[in-house]
Chain A
């Protein structure tokens, strides 16, 4: 039987730093239009896992495939060309350029005009840049220097930049970190809406459980480098292992023993 490959397929991803196994044999997959949350306590290996998905970090072993195509070992810029947009935990934007110019840079790169020496960049795809900014609610800010923006607006700008190459997959590392509660809800609602409309798969890490349970279609839980649970928000919420990880030491001990016995 032949089934179309999932949008993102992760198989046996493993990474150690010295003697520490940051990520051990993590496997999961993601469909187009699905919003998947990657959660876990501090030090669970979320960021390491995340960085291996777009080439920021190289796994020791395992595979990451996008629609069946291998992306393991590729550079971040090559992964981007395959249609993977990314936002960072601490926003990374072009601080001396205006909001519109930030988006235009991504559009220029998408249009493969990076080495065009004599074209006019201020007029480059101005309409599309405007549309993307409207989409994330930043239309009125186009001419602002990016360095002047409030943090929540920077996050929104990052989203617009990440959408510039019409990605199939969005990777968002703690998209709402550092934002006010109301802004968090707004940003995630917006992301979810865009993802469904454009049928983009979204993988995000998050510490705020309200955001996770409200917006994720499915959740995977990482603890000490291994995947301990996977399922719908309701399933994950009632999973005893997850509760152990999040709720207390005694339970955690118990949970680990059970995990050890089953392995």
Chain B
């Protein structure tokens, strides 16, 4: 095979990996949208917050150290050597569940029956709030996330692909980040787990009932409020997974919350209500933007990844406004 062709394959593979990462964030959106009709802009910030909290627990930071120091003139920063990664993940999950409960109690409860766009803007407010809160709690510096996942290029894959190149061609093998492969595996596990949960457990069935019809769910005795807490907790869990993956890949920093924006075109492509749609939409966006950058991007100045996903989604919308797998939008007067 010629090196050009192999390069193309490498680009596509890396695009698929990037797409899985987008899909991880998009999953959280879909879960909340299905169950409550809320388009949760704060999903990206939730991932950031979860990652910050996890690192904070792991390294044993004192929460609000900065604020405490400013008020009392002390100089606290760590309370010890930190804790076991597994324990830290459990604790972070606890924090996310608490957060879900607080959101339901103080925000969503008061916004029932508001227009979707009002709810959307409320989640933008929530995103700002959490961003400020996360930074206030754990500090805004870029942190390293290490939960023991391997990372770096795979030499094995490099060697294998080297043999594919034509005899005598200048080709040095493909680069695949092991972490991305792990992310892909974890994403697949997550989707299987979510599907099993929603198909075979009592709560899962209640979730699907709520997604189907709020009022009908209420009449058969499903508590909407507790379902919302459950959904936001699950979304918090997905955010935690996404936060771990993105955090291990590029450090825990503010730009993590911007992946929420990247997840929007993914959702548009896949449809807001479909879990497989989120995955496939993510893959299409990931491959699409990498391919575009590789083939055309260089000619027009590069860095096209910033906008390509949105423009792709825009063109897509023109032909199929409900997304690939979304339910058909029917409007009545």
Q: Do A and B come from one complex?
A: no
B contact set with A: CB distance below 8 Å? none
A contact set with B: CB distance below 8 Å? none
